[in-house]
């Protein structure tokens, strides 16, 4: 997994469609970072390893 984000800079609405494939399609493997974590440069260990 990689740390990523999406932002809509347009003045019109954005519809995002998430597509998953594979043997497991659960949501419990998602790690959410809050604004304070990102502002402080705090990343989970798996994200640091990918840098």
Query: What band does 49 get if pLDDT is binned at 50, 70 and 90?
Result: very low
| Model confidence, pTM | 0.40
**pLDDT reported for residue 17:** 92
| Cβ-contact 3, 47 below 8 angstroms | yes
Please list, in sequence order, all residues whose beta carbon lies within 8 angstroms of the beta carbon of residue 6, skipping any fewer than 6 positions away. 16
Calculate ∠ Cα 24-32-26, nearest 5°: 15
pLDDT digits (tens, 9 = 90+) for 5-48: 788 999 999 998 988 888 888 877 777 777 666 666 666 555 55
């Amino acid at each position: 997994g990689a740390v990523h984000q999406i932002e809509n800079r347009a003045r019109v609405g954005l519809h995002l469609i998430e597509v998953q494939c594979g043997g497991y399609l659960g949501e419990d493997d998602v790690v959410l970072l809050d604004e304070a974590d990102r502002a402080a440069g705090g990343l989970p260990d798996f994200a640091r390893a990918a840098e």
